[in-house]
Amino acid sequence: MPLTKLQFRPGINRETTSYSNEGGWFDMDKVRFRFGYPEKIGGWTKLSTANFLGTCRALHPWVALDRSQFTGVGTHLKYYVSEGGAFNDITPLRSTTSAGDVTFSANANTLNADITAVDTSITLTSATGFPSTGRIKINDEIITYSSLNTNILQGCIRGVNDTTAASHTSGDAVGCTTIVVSNTAHGAEVNAFVTFSGASDLYSSGGNISAEVLNQEYQIVGIVDDNSYLIEAREENNLPIITTTSGYTPTLVFSNANDTGNGGSSGVGAYQINTGLDNAFFGNGWGVSFWGRGTWGSGSSVGGVEENLRLWTHDNFGEDLIINVRDSSIYYWDRSASSSSFERAVNITDFIGSNKAPTVAKKVLVSDVDRHVIAFGCDSEDDPGVQDPLLIRFSDQENILEWQSLITNTAGDLRIGSGSEIVTAVETRQQILVFTDVSLHAMQYLGPPYTFGINAISENITISGALAVTAVEDSIYWMGSNEFYVYAGAVQRIPCSVRDYVFSDFNEQQRSKVFASTNTSFSEVTWFYPSANSDENNKYVTYNYDQKIWYYGTLSRTAWLDRGVLSDPMAASPDHYMYVHEVGADDGSTTPVSAITSYIESSQMDLGEGDNFAFLQRMIPDITFRTSTGDTPSVTMTLQARNFPGANYSSSNNSTVSKTASVPIEQFTDQVYVRLRGRSFSFKIESDEVGVKWRLGSPRVDVRPDGRR
């Protein structure tokens, strides 16, 4: 009997059952289709050994006039300009105090209860200063108190981690790592960053908290009230090394009885803008937002709506950079002013000559054609500080500082009439597309006297979030609510063969993390998204716009850059590293590199109408290992037989013939022999070895009718 060629339709179909999808592929991970045939995706390697603080959700590449290559990196904690693999902190400052406005306090305190490290419940009693009763949860430990002295809370609760003793007894004097910083109306929140200078030692002799310990950058670990907050003293060192997952453990500094000073009369605090959220929150009341984002016991300020992630938008004004914190200020980074060192970005309202500039916006971009800076969802020039979520303003042409509408310039504004807020905007070659929560609009340059005009394109669309849209080849692709869309002159829903698979395992509360990306080398638009049991992006779904097919997999990426300025795609990971993709065949997040596990599995195939049994006896593989780096690259091919669509592959129904056969396939394997019997068969290829790249062709199988029904 002639051999049967195994040929499958490209793409994955999960909208039907495996049995009804005969001739197609049904499941996969880390596999793409090229020219209709499946192959393992490319590997990734770290951009450098440097990492960044926070979760990155914004990347922007550009080239300066001297050909220096930069990448803007926005996280929920910081904003960096990356050059040569290094991350240079340009996070804007919110305020800088005068000398002497900042003082410090670090005293040994006396515990008023027994504390043992292994206790799961600890009761402390002392003077007032915080809510009369309450519970403090530290990891898995819960501390219950009836009343509590301020110093104990500030110092000794953290002091139970003192490595010099496993437990403390009532009356013990405990050296604490926590420093109380006093600064009237500081305006800081937990996790915000502040850099101290000008402080002196907290002791005259014999203490531990020196000026060098104090005069460095710290991340705030707790808020006491509007006039004081907490930091954790450490030896002088580089904060990014300490606060990321690089494996470095800082050496904490414990105060002692001699650390009774206040840091002198010259202490200065330079406060960076407060950090944002790494997760979206819905609802209202106590416990909705992050613990400690206000003062003790303040609860949440959200009222039944989403509290947004920290998202950045950014664009180039020449070789300089304009950046915006969503629903906050617009900042400017002057590349020429930072040629020798990376200075911090500055609020555009703080520049001399700034006139009527927006103080708040949802997004900012620079129109490439006409060089206007455009702010979306901003405040008006007549009502500064009051955000209008549907207002669009644009500066005078080639002038980032002039925003007042005058007959002598081209500054002005527009307002969208539908929806409740502008979600995002995307620039194409012809126009700027503006998304609200329910509509899509086209914004075009008209020239004087109106400068820009805007018209509605669609009034019945949805979009998952500000990051869920991307442009490629003058088409716009985005993920909506249970739908995918494309705009190429008209809005269309994209038929999706994995729609139910994606949206039935989707964390709706974290939808604003969905990140749309392109990989033009393979004609792919990919959305990274969080599955139902994850708060972070851990899966992806890909639309191949050339072949018009869908596929998916698992991969944790929070932001992505296609090749262009960079020779290969680059992506940010939740592990705080940047990765270069489509390089090699392996997972470069580990040392040494580890294998990328990939597989693809077909739906079931019948003989005839599936009413006869058949024997599968032989298989001739068709696979290439080109670009593999392993000495003997191989994959595992698995053939499985069933008697009925719902039957278990492993069940032999008392037959002496196996229902599954897995065989290794190497580069020069000519044929393999198996012995399977059933009414239908499925086919799977998988690899989990280092250095393996594979591409499948059209293998043949020797299938012979049994004659029985």
Taken in order of first residue, the domains within the chain and their CATH numbers are 4-38+597-705 (2.60.120), 46-55+310-594 (2.130.10), 103-272 (no CATH)
Q: Between 117 and 698, whose confidence is greater?
A: 698
pTM confidence score:
0.88
Q: How confident is the model at residue 195 (pLDDT cuts 50, 70, 90)?
A: very high
Q: Give pLDDT, residue 136.
A: 55
DSSP 605-640: EESTTTTS-EEEEEEE--EE-TT--SSS-EEEEEEE
> Is pLDDT at 498 greater than 80 in this prediction?
yes
Q: Are 617 and 675 in contact (CB under 8 A)?
A: yes
Q: Concatenated DSSP letters for 317-359? A: ETTEEEEEETTB-EEEE-TGGGSSS-PPPEEGGGSTT-BS--S
- Inform me whether the pLDDT recorded for 32 exceeds 70: yes
Q: How confident is the model at residue 274 (pLDDT cuts 50, 70, 90)?
A: very high
Spatial neighbors of 366 by CB under 8 A, at least 6 apart, are 315, 316, 317, 322, 372, 373, 374
> What pLDDT does residue 94 have?
97
CB 163 within 8 A of CB 254: no
Q: How high is the mean pLDDT of the chain?
A: 85
Query: Lowest-confidence range among 128-142, 146-160, 403-417?
Result: 146-160
Quickly tell me which residue has 């086919």 as its tokens.
683
Residue 96 has a CB neighbour count (10 Å cut-off) of 13
pLDDT score of 411 more than 80 = yes
Q: In Å, how far are 130, 220, 221, 288, 322 from 297, measured between CA atoms?
A: 9, 18, 16, 12, 37
The predicted pLDDT at position 280 comes to 86
pLDDT at 165: 35
With a cut of 90, say whether residue 199 has pLDDT above it.
yes
- Tens of pLDDT, residue by residue over 243-272, are 665 556 778 888 888 899 999 999 999 999
What's the pLDDT band for 695 if we cut at 50, 70, 90?
very high
The pLDDT score that the predictor gives to residue 651 is 42
Please say if the pLDDT value at position 659 is more than 80. Answer: no
Q: How confident is the model at residue 288 (pLDDT cuts 50, 70, 90)?
A: very low
pLDDT in the model for residue 611: 63
Please write the tens of the pLDDT for every residue from 449-468: 889 999 999 998 999 999 99
Q: With the C-alpha atoms ordered 29, 524, 8, 637, is the resulting torsion angle positive or negative?
A: negative
Please report, in angstroms and rounded to a whole number, the separation of the first and last CA atoms in the chain.
Answer: 19
Partners of 39 in the beta sheet? 32, 695
Which pLDDT belongs to residue 238?
73
User: What pLDDT does residue 129 have?
Assistant: 44
Kindly report which listed range (130-139, 188-197, 219-228) carries the lowest average pLDDT score.
Answer: 130-139
522-563: per-residue pLDDT in tens?
999 999 999 999 999 999 999 999 999 999 999 999 999 999
What is the DSSP track for 355-410? BS--S-BSEEEE-TTT--EEEES-B-SSSTT-B-TTEEEEPSTT-SSB-S--TTS-
Alpha-carbon dihedral of residues 491, 496, 498, 500, nearest 10 degrees?
Answer: 70
Residue 170 pLDDT exceeds 90: no
Q: What is the mean pLDDT of residues 474-497?
A: 96
